[in-house]
Amino acid sequence: MTVYFVPWDANQNLLLETERLYEKAGTFNDIEKDDLVAVKLHVGELGNPGYVQPFFVHHIIQKIKDAGGKPFLTDSNTYYLAQRHNAYDHIQTALMNGFNMTPFIAADGLRSENSHTIKTRGILKEIQISGAIAQADAMIVISHCKGHELCGFGGAIKNLAMGCTSREGKLQQHRTVNIEINQTKCIGCATCKTACPNNLPQIINKKAHITSPLCMRCPICKSECPTKAIHFTNQENLCKALASAALGVLETFKPNKISYVNFAKDITQHCDCLPNPGAPIINDVGIFAANSPVSIDAAFLKKINYQQLFNKLSNIDCMTQITEAINIGIPGNPNPTIQQI
């Protein structure tokens, strides 16, 4: 399975380069007249400068229209409390970040009430898929490649898994990871409780306890703990859950109705869900296009020394989500041919 690639070269007109890239990859070949086409992207947390530049997205939208489709921008609301927690704030963020070229539809509704239960395989047996995703005829998945503290990195698989599921679906995936507190290190200072947006940790007998079913295993309390008493176990389970959720999303589409474009630029240690993702950790790589989330993510990892970058920073093997996706039946190649355009 071939992944097509354009290097990031500011001496070239990259918009024209992507024109050739999409033609070679057949990105829009299976869009039919009047298809409702979800353009799945992360519009960037308010203040984050590293999301995919809007003019690239505008170009993709025009290509969909040229093919006869009816494109709409979409993403699911966040589980955590931020600027994209409900549809109104999500749309406002999209507009402020420059995504105003076609309607934006919050995939899971105003307050994440619109979802469908879909059967899947692997560590999860079912997953809550956002309604606008499940009801679309086709989808172009635009992903920004970057790091992620819990699963190593985020690309197309994570964009499908987290970005196309409701709050409940996100919680399903995150809670495959366990969180533990070393009570001998805990000093009961309540820093974790103060740092948690939902104030979920409890201080009982001068010790912290995290037992709430609403805890999504985000790394905030862990990173803020002054004695390093909080740690995750079974962290690789999130990578496996991403694969399960991604498969559930794919099950809602007919074959060949999803194409993928990955932008490997402004590659930071942290994800776009933060307004302060940090400085880039490697040079810009380029733009990838393919018809498999497995192959396109593997191609990015193949292009970089991911073991010394993401694996080392997150203490998790980035290939876990890719190998698990293959194991449960998502087509793709973990070592794809990369054809430079």
Q: Give Dmax (Cα) for the chain.
A: 65
The helix or strand, by DSSP H or E, that contains position 59, with its residue range, turns out to be helix 54-66
Q: Could you tell me which residues are beta bridge partners of residue 143?
A: 262
Mean of all residue pLDDT scores within the chain: 95
Type of residue found at 256: N
Type of residue found at 270: H
pLDDT (mean) for 66-83: 94
What are the two backbone dihedrals, phi and then psi, of residue 55, each rounded to the nearest 5 degrees? -65, -30
pLDDT in tens, 214-252: 999 988 999 999 999 999 999 999 999 999 999 999 999
Cα(258)–Cα(334) distance, integer angstroms: 19
The helix or strand, by DSSP H or E, that contains position 156, with its residue range, turns out to be helix 156-161
Contact 148, 158 (CB under 8 A): yes
Q: Please report which confidence band the pLDDT of residue 274 belongs to, taking 50, 70 and 90 as the band edges.
A: confident
pLDDT in tens, 160-173: 999 999 999 999 99
Count other C-beta atoms under 10 Å from residue 184's C-beta. 8
pLDDT in tens, 173-223: 999 999 999 999 999 999 999 999 999 999 999 999 999 999 999 889 999
Q: Could you tell me which residues are beta bridge partners of residue 209?
A: 202
Contact 134, 254 (CB under 8 A): no
Tokens encoding 47: 């203040």
Choose the weakest-confidence range: 94-103, 191-200, 271-280.
Answer: 271-280
- Whether the pLDDT of residue 271 is over 90: the answer is no
pLDDT in tens, 44-66: 998 888 899 999 999 999 999 99
Q: Is 256 exposed, middle or buried (0-12, 13-18, 19+ CB in 10 A)?
A: exposed
Contact 216, 175 (CB under 8 A): yes
- Percent of the chain residues topping a pLDDT of 70: 100
Count other C-beta atoms under 10 Å from residue 266's C-beta. 20
Task: Identify the three-state secondary structure at position 340.
Answer: strand
Residue 302: the pLDDT is 96
pTM to 2 decimal places: 0.95
pLDDT (mean) for 98-106: 97
Cα(112)–Cα(110) distance, integer angstroms: 6
Residue 278's Cβ-side half-sphere holds a number of Cα atoms within 13 Å equal to: 12
pLDDT in tens, 294-306: 999 999 999 998 9
